[in-house]
Copies of this chain bind each other. A is one copy, B any other.
Amino acid sequence: MNKVLITGGAGFLGKRLAKKLLERGQLNGPDGKPRKIDRLVLLDMAAPAGLDDPRIEVITGDIADPALLRRAVDAEVGSIFHLAAVVSGAAEADFDLGMRINLDATRDLLERCRALGHKPRFVFTSSVAVFGGKLPDVVPDDMATMPMSSYGAQKVAGELLVSDYSRKGFLDGRTLRMPTISVRPGKPNAAASSFASGIVREPLNGEAAVAPVAPGTRMWLMSPRRAIENLVHGHDLDAEAVGLPRTISLPGLSVTVQGMVDALRQVAGDAVADRVRWEPDDAIRRIVESWPGAFAATRARALGFTADDNYADVIRAYMEDDMA
């Protein structure tokens, strides 16, 4: 029996990853060869809607609850995608909540994997929010992290643990530093980057949207489709190919917020693009403008990770995948 666990499995990325894994039916095992997925365990605070497959097992509850983790991570779990997190704005507003979920629960999960003894494969997602301060236009792989948010600090701490647990042979981890995902479907959330989906999604749905940063602010973006491809690719890489550290800054698409609105205008017309209002919000600007707008991602490209080609196509993919 080979189980695959997705934490945050009811979230938008988690559900999309679940669908992809059910379609594929397999992931590489410890020997580097494809292994059938017998069961897909989705762990989240609420049950995911719209997924129906006999291989799915849903576990709901607080990921910071050790009893829940023991239930979710048993001896048959071969792979874990740890996507559950308190997003940047929420972790900034509630420091203790962010520490509990982003740091403590991550560590508990790693400890649980260590206790299994068979070195499960562990894919952790990190973020551009680990960077801040004075940065070059294109951030190289060996740039120092300097989080300007608690979320970013907690993510770096998680990266360190994933690398050290891997180095010690407790599990086989890899951390993917994800660009900002755009376009996310659904509602705005408490992430400081929420607008990076909202300024496309809301206008396409006939609603007004606010761009809270300067038009020239450069974002490092990835579409949900591409993110899922890269998560699966990151899982399936051999540990020797990844090496140390286990943290990999992914390639992405570098676009200014003005460029995003221009692409929206190109794809959907003036009436839609004119629904975006520019209204600077200092709290959001402080966080978002501390993030880098482009990365070299040299190591990731050499490992076969890929980026979207242009933002107009990203918008078209959103319309295709997520607009009913």
Contact = CB atoms under 8 A, between A and B. Distances in A.
Contacts of A190: none
Given A141-B144, A142-B143, A146-B244, A161 B153 contact: yes
A160 B144 contact: no
Nearest to A104: B107
Given A133-B244, A244-B133, A153 B148 contact: no
Interface in A185-215: none
Contacts of A167: 148
Interface string A24-47: 000000000000000000000000
Select the residue from A95, A143, A144, A160 with max chain B CB neighbours within 10 A.
Answer: A160
A107 to B, nearest CB: 8
B153 A160 contact: yes
Nearest to A142: B144
A167 B153 CA distance: 11
A143 B146 contact: no
A164 interface: yes
12 contacts: A132-B244, A133-B245, A143-B144, A145-B145, A146-B163, A146-B244, A146-B245, A150-B164, A150-B168, A153-B161, A156-B160, A157-B157
Interface of A: 95, 132-134, 141-148, 150, 153, 156-157, 160-161, 163-164, 167-168, 244-245
